[in-house]
Amino acid sequence: MSELTTKRLSLYLRCLEDLAALGVDKVSSREMAERFQLNSSQIRKDLACFGEFGVRGVGYEVSQLRREIETILGLDRTSGVVIMGAGNLGNALADYPGFNSRGFEIVALFDSDPGKIGTTSKQGKPIHGLDELDSVVDEADVELGIVAVPAEAVQGVVDRLVDAGVRAILNFAPLRPVVPDGTRCINVDLKVELESLSFFLSSSRDPADEPEGPVLA
Amino acid sequence: MSELTTKRLSLYLRCLEDLAALGVDKVSSREMAERFQLNSSQIRKDLACFGEFGVRGVGYEVSQLRREIETILGLDRTSGVVIMGAGNLGNALADYPGFNSRGFEIVALFDSDPGKIGTTSKQGKPIHGLDELDSVVDEADVELGIVAVPAEAVQGVVDRLVDAGVRAILNFAPLRPVVPDGTRCINVDLKVELESLSFFLSSSRDPADEPEGPVLA
DNA sequence: ATTTGTGAACGCATTCACAGCT
DNA sequence: AGCTGTGAATGCGTTCACAAAT
């Protein structure tokens, strides 16, 4: 099963939430595709990986499909989340509404700075020292770790998470840590994204790509 | 040219910076691949899109290749950046070291909250009202916009950026705005990433994927 | 001997197009 | 008539393998 498919399922889920909020109760793949700029075949193929949720000639029932996707993504169950690094980014993520929603619960932040330990984020999420990681992970049934520490600290922090039993990691540091088999790490590399935009700007300034005007005389 | 290639170029650049810091001055694609867990053919193919930077039988000169990639990505030139939304995330991004580095300069944040206008981020980046967007973009030669506002405000904010002449946008809100041709928008959807990890956890708990133990008797 | 640069082969993901069902 | 589910076709990205170069 492709990771691209699962990411699209998240998108579809959000679309279905929008539709439900609008009071729509039935939707076809074509309708959804048009409304949200998706591809209808792809919607159907993605869903086909997990079952048959539609009715031929009719379409999909919004609330039912929504529940199905929630179940597929494991959002029918709440996962505890810890955030490693209580800097600006860690704090922002701790209070990010999207991370404190169905399926997830931010349990705590961890930092090595003694000045931060014992304080909380703006929304009141506690900041602990690293020595408390194992006990918090055990007690709060934490399955997910978010890493927002400087590059040089990443591998050590990830190793600590893996030792504590966390097998899913979202890493924001600009260095891809090595993780053992059976552990998944998704890297969100903000600098790479920004540099990709810089390339776009640079190449659209540079006339190299479009050497001539319109070909039509 | 694939966006995947340009994102990998950012990675290669970071690797080369590491190598330079270690005092390495020549490197082969195989060496780089092993050290940073990449694929040597892919490195060569990616580079081949932009020229011939190596010497057969020898490899690449670190400082030269580094400069070449900086030029390709447009980092030999500083782009002004504005951040829309001075909430937790916007503020964290404004002070993020990776965004205040070679090739980029965070110029200002913008917010509609009168209580924030006139204040600054922790690192001193000014927060303006939306009415000042056009003048700031004009005066500071801003080419890049980062969007960190709630979903319902995204499209309006993006339209304002486009009107002001910003043609490259990094969007953190959970809604993909429509942008005109010639404008590029990269969406970083944090909730999608987290839900993708939730799926991984869910499917590795669920024995459906691996119905049996080891096949070897 | 070693490594680049690249055409060819491969594999994966998307899109098409239609049979099957309501 | 209309829409799903899916095999077939296409397109894209990665990997292989080797000729060209030092």
**Residues on chain B touching A198 (C-beta within 8 angstroms):** 73-75, 79, 103-104, 144, 168
Q: Could you give the maximum distance between any two Cα atoms of chain A, in Å?
A: 73
Confidence of residue A206 (pLDDT cuts 50, 70, 90): confident
Q: What is the pLDDT of residue B208?
A: 55
Rg (CA), chain B: 22
Within a 10 A sphere around the Cβ of B115, how many other Cβ atoms?
8
Phi-psi region of A37 (alpha: psi -120 to 50; beta: other; left: phi over 0): left
Query: Under a CB-based contact definition with an 8 Å cutoff, are residues B109 and B90 in contact?
Result: yes
Bases of chain C with protein Cβ within 7 A: 1-7, 12-17, 20-22
Pick the more confident residue, A46 or B207: A46
Strands (E), A118-208: 127-128, 142-147, 168-171, 184-187
Residue B211 has pLDDT above 70, yes or no: no
CA distance A92 to chain B (A): 5
CA distance A154 to chain B (A): 15
Distance A40 CA to D6 C1' (A): 14
Residue A217 has pLDDT above 70, yes or no: no
Residue A211 has pLDDT above 80, yes or no: no
Nearest nucleotide to B48, CA against C1' atoms: C5
Q: Nearest by CB to A170, which of B73, B170, B197?
A: B197
Query: In whole angstroms, what is the distance from residue B11 CA to residue B38 CA?
Result: 10
Bases of chain D with protein Cβ within 7 A: 1-7, 12-17, 20-22
Q: What is the pLDDT of residue B176?
A: 96
Please check whether strand D approaches the CB of B2 to within 7 Å. Answer: yes
> Residue B195 and residue A144: Cβ atoms within 8 Å?
no
- Total beta-carbon pairs less than 8 A apart between chain A and chain B: 181
pLDDT in tens, A56-98: 999 999 999 999 999 999 999 999 999 999 999 999 999 999 9
Query: Under a CB-based contact definition with an 8 Å cutoff, are residues B114 and A172 in contact?
Result: no
Q: What is the pLDDT of residue A207?
A: 62
**Which of A105-114, A203-212, B85-94 shows the lowest per-residue confidence on average (mean pLDDT)?**
A203-212
> Residue A98 and residue B168: Cβ atoms within 8 Å?
no
Query: Under a CB-based contact definition with an 8 Å cutoff, are residues A98 and B174 in contact?
Result: yes
Residue A212 has pLDDT above 80, yes or no: no
Residue A107 DSSP class: E
Tokens standing for residue B79: 């782009």
pLDDT in tens, B170-190: 999 999 999 999 999 999 999
Q: Nearest by CB to B7, which of A96, A182, A196?
A: A196
Confidence of residue B206 (pLDDT cuts 50, 70, 90): confident
Q: What is the pLDDT of residue A205?
A: 84
- Which residues touch A51 (CB under 8 Å, ≥6 apart)? A68
**Residues on chain B touching A89 (C-beta within 8 angstroms):** 92-93, 96
Residue B84 has pLDDT above 60, yes or no: yes
Query: In whole angstroms, what is the distance from residue A94 CA to residue A195 CA?
Result: 26
> Residue B190 and residue A89: Cβ atoms within 8 Å?
no
Query: In whole angstroms, what is the distance from residue B36 CA to residue B43 CA?
Result: 11
Confidence of residue B55 (pLDDT cuts 50, 70, 90): very high
Mutate to test the interface with B, among A195, A200, A206 (most CBs of B within 10 A): A195
Tokens standing for residue A64: 């039912």
Q: What is the pLDDT of residue B1?
A: 84
Confidence of residue B203 (pLDDT cuts 50, 70, 90): very high
Computed over every residue of chain B, the mean pLDDT equals: 94
